[in-house]
Structure 1
Amino acid sequence: MDFDIPTFWLIIGFAGQALFSARFFVQWIMSEKLKKSVIPVAFWYFSVFGGITLLAYAIHREDPVFIAGQGLGLLVYARNLWFIWKERQEGNAAS
C-alpha cells in the first residue's frame, strides 16, 4: 500500500485524535461502573499517546498554537503518571 505524505499525516492526525478522544470514553465508562467520578490510569496513558501523536501532526503542520497546546498538555499528563507511579512504588515499598 503506497501512501502519499499528506494522506499519511492525515492518518496520523486522525489516529492521534482517536487516541485522545478514547480517554473520555474510558473515564465515562469507569465513572458509570463505579457510580462516581473517577479518572482511571488508562485516561492518562491515552492522554500521553494521543498527545504525542497529535504533537507530531502539529509539528508537521507547523501550527504553533496546536504545538503549544499539545506540548504543554503532555507535561500535565506525564506529571500525573509520575504521581501514580510514585504512589505505587511507595505502596509496594511499604508492603
Structure 2
Amino acid sequence: MKETMFELLKIEGWREFWWVVLGLTAQIAFASRFLVQWIASERAGRSYIPVAFWYLSIIGGALLFTYAVYRQDIVFILGQGSGLIVYIRNLVLIHREARRPDAMAETPVR
C-alpha cells in the first residue's frame, strides 16, 4: 500500500509525503478563495470580492510559496512570491480605508 501510494505521488519517502500533503492543503486553501468569492457575489447580487478572499490568498499563497521553495521551482516561486505582494497590499488598502472616518457610509458589508 505504502509503495503504491509513493509511486502514485512520485515520491521516495515519508518526508516528501508530508511536503505533498502541505502542497495539496495549500492548493485547497488557495482554490477555496474562489468559492468564497462566488458565494459572496451571489449573496450581494453582483460581483464582489470579500476580505476573506485576500486572507485565503495569503494563506494559500504563503503555503504554496513554501512548497515551491522546497521543490526549488523558480517559476512557482516567482509566481507565488509576486502574488503575495499583491494580496498583502490589497489587505493594507482595505484596512486603511476602514480606518477612514467616512468609510462606514460607503463600505459594503464584508
Q: 1:65 to 1:6 in 2, by over 3 A?
A: same
Q: Secondary structure of the equivalent of 1:33?
A: helix
1:14 to 2, 24, 32: 24
Q: Secondary structure of the equivalent of 1:29?
A: helix
Deviations 1:26-57 (A, max 9, x none): 00001111110000000000000000000000
Identity %: 48
1:74 to 84, 93, 98: 84
Higher Cα Rg, which structure: 2
Q: Secondary structure of the equivalent of 2:100?
A: helix
Q: 1:87 to 1:10 in 2, by over 3 A?
A: same
- Bigger helix fraction: 1
Which consecutive aligned stretches of 4+ in structure 1 deviate over 2 angstroms post-superposition?
Answer: 91-94
Higher relative contact order (CA 8 A, sep 6+): 1
Whole-angstrom distance in 2 between the partners of 1:46 and 1:73: 12
**Are 2:74 and 1:64 equivalent residues in the alignment?**
yes
- Which consecutive residues of structure 1, in runs of 5 or more, have no partner in the other structure? none
- Which consecutive residues of structure 2, in runs of 5 or more, have no partner in the other structure? 1-12, 105-110
TM-score (structure 2 length as normaliser): 0.79
**Are 2:59 and 1:49 equivalent residues in the alignment?**
yes
